[in-house]
Amino acid sequence: MSDGVLTLAPPSQRFDSSGVGLASGLIGLAVLAAILAATLPIAFSMAIVFLFAGPHNWFETRYMLGRLPARAGKLWPFFTLAFVGIVGLTASFALLTYWAEASSRWLTGLAVWNTALVLWIATLVEMRSRQNPRHDWGWIWPASFLVIAGIWSAPLLFNLAIVYLHPLMALWLLDRELVRSRPQWRAAYYGCLLTVPLLLVLMVWHLADSPSLLADDPLTEAILYHAGAGILTGVSTHLLVAIHTFLEMVHYSIWLIAIPYIGLRSAPWQLHTIPVARRSERWKRGIAAILIFGVFISLILWICFLWDYSTTRQIYFTVALMHVLAEIPFLLRSL
């Protein structure tokens, strides 16, 4: 009210109850995920990877395609380096994983790969800092060399950090999408975010002294190793698997529910909202082929999980590194 005249707040500042509804739903899912991860860590880990691994990659691909510019223009060097790094690092990691079974010097190879990853990220950050809107990110090089020094001291710890930090990247990407599409929801979202550390603290308090899980079959052994067993000695593997599974479920929830709900302006199969698909009929067919191929891969993945879950999981987490790497330049472009 000003001078007897009622004034309305700008649309971006008005209270929006739908933001609270989404945050409440995500909180409910997070609490349920924490309970299931704490009580049934191995079974819950197997279930969520089987159900959501393929679909969440498809939705992630669909979302990123919708955010790519129709033409790269001056951003061509950035996107070229991003693509070369994504494909090259994924392929070399797959070869390194195969080599690990036949070489006793694979830790050196892992340190080399980690170093290449850090330098790739640092170069992308440097390139992004010179693009509009410009940023003062000169600290990236001293920080990168400090990380590289730590990599050569403990390469396995660096890779384990990626395993645990990657699920949280989806939370950052969701925040960037809120800035773009629903800024009035960010306050509710930040309240929702407080649930994650709170639940992690409760899980640590509840499971810190719990007996470690028995690795009585190859699949359980692989799940334990992926969560850090043998690297974080002295920590209950029950706690490690529970925390990792909880974070993975948070990651899946963001990509399967929150980001599609907020970021997709039409049904996923409608291509007119994808700028690249509007370039020409050939580009439209190419984008359609990518999405159809993604559906096919998801179906094949389910079949392979039913046929040989252990082998399929191992292959998936090797190849799925590609989507982890793809999120890095995509996040940088959103800043």
Q: Is residue 6 part of a domain?
A: no
Where b means 16+ CB within 10 Å and e means fewer, 317-329 reads: beebbbbbbbbbb
Instruction: Per residue of the chain (335 residues), give pLDDT as tens.
Output: 333 333 333 444 454 566 787 888 889 999 999 999 999 999 999 999 999 999 999 999 998 888 888 787 788 999 999 999 999 999 999 888 777 655 667 888 899 999 999 999 999 999 999 988 888 898 999 999 999 999 999 988 998 999 899 888 899 999 999 998 888 888 888 888 999 999 999 999 999 999 988 888 888 888 998 888 888 888 899 999 999 999 999 999 999 999 888 877 677 777 888 888 888 888 889 989 999 999 999 999 999 999 999 999 988 888 888 888 999 998 998 88
Domain contains 7: no
Does residue 9 form part of some domain? no
User: Looking at the domain assignment, is residue 315 inside a domain?
Assistant: yes
Alpha carbons 294 and 60: distance in angstroms, whole number? 11
In a domain, 115, yes or no: yes
- Structural domain span for residue 36: 17-334
Buried b (16+ CB within 10 A) or exposed e, 129-145: beeeeeeebeebeeebe
Residue 130 lies in a domain: yes
* Distance between CA atoms of residues 267 and 260, nearest Å: 9
In DSSP notation, 43-109 reads: HHHHHHHHHHHHHHHHHHHHHHHHHS-S--GGGHHHHHHHHHHHHHHHHHHHHHHHHHTT-S-HHHH
**Is 12 inside a domain boundary?**
no
11 occurs within a structural domain:
no
Count the domains in the chain: 1
pTM of the model: 0.88
